[in-house]
Structure formats: structure tokens, C-alpha cells
Amino acid sequence: MVSNSLFFEDFYLGQRFESAEFAVSSDDLTDFARVSGDRHPMHTADGGADERFDGPIAHGPWGIARYFGLLFDSGVVEDSAIALLDTNWRYLAPVTVGMKLRFSTVVTGCRRRSDGAEGVVNRQIELRDDQGHLLQRGTSAFLVRARQGQPSDQDPAGNAPLTPRWARAVADRLAANTEFAGATQLFDGAIGLATERDEVQFRIYRGKIIEVAARTPRGASFTLRGDELFWTELFTGPRNDLMVRALRGQFRVQGDAYVYLQLTKPVHLLIDAARELVAEERSQ
């Protein structure tokens, strides 16, 4: 039988998966209550424990459990999954019996481990109903086997954003960019980009990036902080819409906001370089 499993090399930044639509049944809640031991009336009583709902509501963890069940049924990682590394989950709206639901998954990073035989894949997961309402969302990283062992520096740098290797690749693209040099000619400091788990800083002096690292000696003049999905969509979306996302409040600026406003243009050019890196590697 031919395996449908995806291995580490098959995942890439911005990759999207959609589950088939499925319905929530009362049997689902009964089974989950029996396994978990949580038989609170809100999950089992005909009218629920709250008059706001017409019937029982699903246990919060039922959603993420259903996600992993559907993932197993799909066979996508049946032969490649090694371990679940973390799960961070938010419950935004109740899930009730009869709802029709669908999961969507976006890959937000891929990093091969030092032994070369396996790698970590980060995911952003959302659960929505058939009207498009967001009910639950979260992130989860898991460890998968690689199809072939190789050094991590042979993998696409764009697949692991906001790492020192990624930053060096972006800096190389800006080395001959006269617009970037002109816009940073009088700047002596560092621009930071960060998620909840990663941060990288670009140390700039007289129009040139002279250092990239997780931390620079004097720290960042300012840091743009957003979640992994924000950066993934910014680097892989149809256009560089940083300012639109700023107006939506999708990231925050820490440090000297005045310097950030002065350096809006080089920040845009830096994002453009990152987008070009991803697009070029994807086309190879």
C-alpha cells in the first residue's frame, strides 16, 4: 500500500490544510464524558446547565481531541509522526450538539533537528462552524520523521522565520539594496522581530546590517511582536500588507516607537526581502 504520510521535507511555511465538515452529536459528548470522567450537567443534561443554550455543550478539550482524531483518520502523518510537543488552546465560543464544524491548519514553521533525521513542525489551528464563526483556535508543535537525513543548513531558510539563519539570508538580500542603505544611513541601532517563542535582531550601522542574532549587545531599538500566524501570513500572503495589519492591531511595537515610525520604509524593505526569500525557495 502506498503511504499518504507527509514527512518533514513535505511541510513548508504557509502550507494549509482543511478538514472535511463534520457534525457534533450527543453520542460524541456522552463518549467524551465517559472517557474523561467529566459528567457535568452542562455536557450531559437535555437542556444543558445554562438556559442560554438549547442543549448540552461540548467539553472544551473535545475540540482539540477531535482535531487529532481527524488528523489520524486522514493518514497525513500516520507513518511520520513521532511526538506531540505542545498544545496551546483557546475557547472562544461554545460548541453545541448539531453544529457542523471544520478545522483549518496553517504551517507556521519547520525546523530540522541537529541529528538531521527528524524535525519540528509548528501549526496554527482554527475550528469554525459552517457560518464561518471562529469557535476555538490554538497552536501545536509536533515532531515528525524526515524522509532523508541531512544537515539543517540545507533546508530552505524561509521555512523557519525569525531564526538567526533566516535573518542572515534576509540580510544577504538587503546587502546590495540601495534603498535600504539610504533609509538607514543615519541609523545606529537594531530592529527586532519576535513571536511568543522566537526573536531575532538586525544590528544596523551606516546603512548596513552588520550583525544578526537572537540578541545584540545593546538590544533592539524597537521590536515588532506578533504571533506565528501573523508573520507567516505576512511572509507568504499575496502582498506586503504590514500597515494594514498595523491598523488592525495584529502586532505591537516595543521599545522606541518614534524610531519605528522613522524607519517604516526599511522595515517594509526587510519584509519584502523575507517574502522574496520564501518565494524563491518555493519555486526551486
Q: Provide the edge-to-edge strand list for the sheet that holds 222-225.
A: 208-213, 199-205, 188-194, 222-225, 252-255
What distance in Å separates the CA atoms of residue 60 and residue 58, rounded to the nearest whole number? 6
The three cell numbers locating residue 138: 490554538
Domains of the chain with bracketed CATH: 8-152 (3.10.129.10), 157-283 (3.30.1050.10)
- Other residues' Cβ atoms within 10 Å of the Cβ of residue 153: 8
pLDDT for 4 = 84
pLDDT for 48 = 52
pLDDT for 56 = 86
In degrees and rounded to multiples of 5, residue 276 shows phi and psi of -65, -40
pLDDT for 49 = 54
Q: Are 255 and 32 in contact (CB under 8 A)?
A: no
pLDDT for 128 = 98
The three cell numbers locating residue 2: 502506498
Chain centroid offset of residue 30 CA: 33
What pLDDT, in 10s, does the model give residues 5-58? 999 999 999 999 999 999 999 999 999 999 999 888 888 766 555 567 777 899
Chain centroid offset of residue 264 CA: 24
The beta-strand segments (E) located in the chain are 16-18, 22-23, 81-91, 100-112, 118-129, 134-145, 188-194, 199-205, 208-213, 222-225, 252-255
Q: Are 230 and 245 in contact (CB under 8 A)?
A: yes
Cross-strand pairs, 129 = 101
Handedness of CA 175, 278, 168, 170 (dihedral sign): positive
- In tens digits, the chain (284 residues) has pLDDT values of 446 899 999 999 999 999 999 999 999 999 999 999 988 888 876 655 556 777 789 999 999 999 999 999 999 999 999 999 999 999 999 999 999 999 999 999 999 999 999 999 999 999 999 999 999 999 999 999 999 999 999 999 999 999 999 999 999 999 999 999 999 999 999 999 999 889 999 999 999 999 999 999 999 999 999 999 999 999 999 999 999 999 999 999 999 999 999 999 999 999 999 999 999 999 98
